[in-house]
Structure 1
Amino acid sequence: MPPMQRVAITGASGMIGTALVGHLKSEGYTVQKLVRRASRAADEISWDPQSGTVDLEALAGVDAIIHLAGAGVGDKRWTKKYKSEILNSRLLGTTAIANAVNTVKPSVFISASAIGWYGETGNRAVIETDRAGEDFLAVVCREWEGAADLVSDVRTVKLRTGLVLDPTGGALGRMLPLFRFGLGGKLGNGKQWWSWITLHDHIRAITFALESKIEGPVNVTSPNPVTNQEFTAGLARALHRPALFPAPSFALKIALGGFASEILGSKKVMPQALMDAGFNFDYPHIAPALAALVD
């Protein structure tokens, strides 16, 4: 049986949250989902990030709180309004959960963040001790982690998540239809670094954070980042399709708005904290990872 029995999770209906709930239940955990409405079942706890309210009575006695909720950065064009939603959904939600953590005092608090913390890194590899960048998502991540830092006297882990790969969603889910039809190719010049991790290893890393003594910022990425050209060529090979149709930068900027900077930008991130703590990746290299994902 796991050392911690009862885990509460926000963002449990997202791609990562859904997989995490299933995995933790299979490992013997009791999982309760924080929902933004009145609870309707024993495994639900009501909360409202906008007002900062959490059902503390229902949350009392949990061994761990995992906070994954936040507006998706790639879900919509980055209008001024949506950029505000991206920031506020994280700032308000994390502040509410941090205050709840300070009240109910679980053994560990795990809060989502992102490798957007580092901003544009070019060809320079960065680790957890490197300072934050200056672009929009770097500012979001600083505020996001700052809200998590409101927690005191509870082991706190901030998951700086990279590009999570799974055919059910995220970037890979969006790219697969084009590549299956042989219409895929590199994005922009293809030289930008992508720091990726399979959903499978991401869930294992969260579980590792839950059960180990690791704390502070933790880069959740493969130890082998790849360029976009290497990624798209690898995906085409895994699908036995050509990759002859590159998407030029200007077209991506028109189609995606501000989010294009995340597709075209370069982030070369190393999971130093995980490696130092002894975490082993099942899929450290992109070719076998993509082969398994599209099989």
Structure 2
Amino acid sequence: MNSPTVAIAGSSGLIGSALVSALRAADHRVLRIVRRAPANADELQWDPEAGAIDLGALAGVDALVNLCGVGIGDRRWSGAFKQSLRDSRITPTEVLSTAVAEVGIPVLINASGVGYYGDTRDRTVDESASMGTDFLAQLAGDWEAATAAAQQAGARVVLARTGIVLTPSGGAMGRLRPLFSLGLGARLGNGRQYMSWISMADEISALLFAISNDTLSGPVNLSGPAPVTNAEFTAALGRTLGRPARLAVPAFAMRAGLGELADGLLSGQRAIPAALEQAGFRFQHSTIGEALAYATARPTPQ
């Protein structure tokens, strides 16, 4: 029996790289969808802006995972950067969704974010909650809507609404750990905004679970079961690193330095993973303390 084949767009990113390794360790064949010339037979070149992708090369693919998208916090939110956030998500998703429909790929796992819900304040939300009204919510909503062709063709489409991914390999912790280690950790604004987080280990396990579990479809929150406020997160990270974090960055200073990006950091989502847990998924890191201990551990030397 042939090993299952999973195609991945966005495979060179933080999550994509880890997912490729996990799939290969599980004896799956991985077909990486790349923009450059292919380096080997396990790569497929595409040009999403031109709508160009080799449908024949996708024949026999069992699932396609779309992780495309410029990082939300990579730069200040200028008008041009906000457009790049949209362009890097929506057009590629439309191309991949159409390919899934035309080739008959049975499963599409499409990245999204818990920002879909807007600022929920202290209200707990699961996948049944409605879309918010801010920029990130509209971005996530349009991103998910771009999977329409695959859904209409009958593919099982999972909209993976991911929270903040905590990993020893970079990402948010790559920015925060040096500051906290120097005693410069600080809560943002009043610190009451909620943060939906997930460890990288659980993120990858949840994606593998979504690929293989036929009962999962539609929106699925990839976030830990116990979201925390920014103040709680700040205190927990300080404890984990042995450097108490007593500072605070005022909201006005954040808005002066970061512009509209600050609004994204000063709002949050108290999202819980109802769909995952109802399907039987079990978290390895179910508390913020466990996730931060994992995310601040030094990688084991090879």
Q: Secondary structure at the match of 1:50?
A: helix
The Cα shift of 1:4 comes to: 6.0
**TM norm structure 1:** 0.97
Q: Runs ≥4 in structure 1, deviation > 3 angstroms?
A: none
Over the matched positions of the two proteins, sequence identity in percent amounts to: 46
Distance in structure 2 (CA, Å) of the matches to 1:114 and 1:271? 12
Post-superposition CA distance 1:20-78 (Å, at most 9, x none):
00111111111111001222211110111111111212111111100001111111111
Mean Cα displacement is larger for which, 15-24 or 170-179? 170-179
Specify whether residues 277 and 169 from structure 1 end up closer, same or farther in structure 2 by C-alpha distance, changes over 3 A only. Answer: same
Structure 2 counterparts to residues 30-109 of structure 1, below 5 A = 30-109=29-108
Check whether the contact 1:223–1:271 (CA below 8 A) recurs between aligned residues: yes
Distance 1:26 1:38 in 2: 25
AA partner of residue 136 (structure 1): F
- Counterpart of 1:234 in structure 2: which amino acid? A
Determine if contact 1:4/1:64 at 8 Å carries over to the other structure: no
**Letter of the 1:85 counterpart:** S
- What runs of 5+ residues in structure 2 fail to find an aligned partner? 298-302
**C-alpha deviations, 1:216-265, integer Å up to 9, x for none?**
11011011000111101100101011202222212222332222122110
For the residues of structure 1 that align with 2:97 and 2:37, how far apart are their CA atoms? 21
Counterpart of 1:236?
A: 238
SS in 2 for 1:46: strand
Residue in structure 2 matched with residue 211 of structure 1 by the alignment: 212
C-alpha distance in structure 2 between counterparts of 1:75 and 1:169, whole Å: 13
Contact 2:3 2:29 in 1 (8 A): no
1:171 positional shift: 1.8
Aligned residues: 294
**Contact 1:4–1:63 (CA under 8 A) maintained in structure 2:** no
Give me the CA root mean square deviation: 1.3
Q: Which residue of 2 aligns with 1:223?
A: 225
| Contact map agreement 1:49 1:89 (CA 8 A) in 2 | no
Q: Equivalent of 1:261, from 260, 263, 282?
A: 263
Aligned to 1:150: 149
- 1:8/1:34 contact within 8 Å kept: yes
Tell me if the contact between 1:119 and 1:134 (Cα under 8 Å) persists in the aligned partners. yes
Structure 1: which amino acid aligns with 2:62? D
| Matches of 1:259 and 1:43, distance apart in 2 | 37
SS in 1 for 2:49: coil
Name the aligned partner's letter for residue 7 of structure 1.
V
Q: Is the 8 A contact 2:100 2:106 kept in 1?
A: no
Query: Does 2:177 align with 1:184?
Result: no
For residue 188 of structure 2, give the secondary structure of its aligned residue in structure 1.
coil
In structure 2, what is the Cα distance between the partners aligned to 1:179 and 1:58?
47
Q: Give the alignment's TM-score, normalised by structure 2.
A: 0.94
Q: Is the 8 A contact 2:195 2:229 kept in 1?
A: yes
* Structure 1 Cα separation of the partners of residues 281 and 254 of structure 2: 36
Which string of whole-angstrom CA distances, capped at 9 and with x for unpartnered residues, describes residues 112-165 of structure 1?
011111011111111111110111111111111101122121111010111111
CA distance in 2, matches of 1:105, 1:256: 44
1:196 is aligned to: 197
- Which range moved further: 251-260 or 187-196? 251-260
Change (3 A) 1:253 1:167: farther
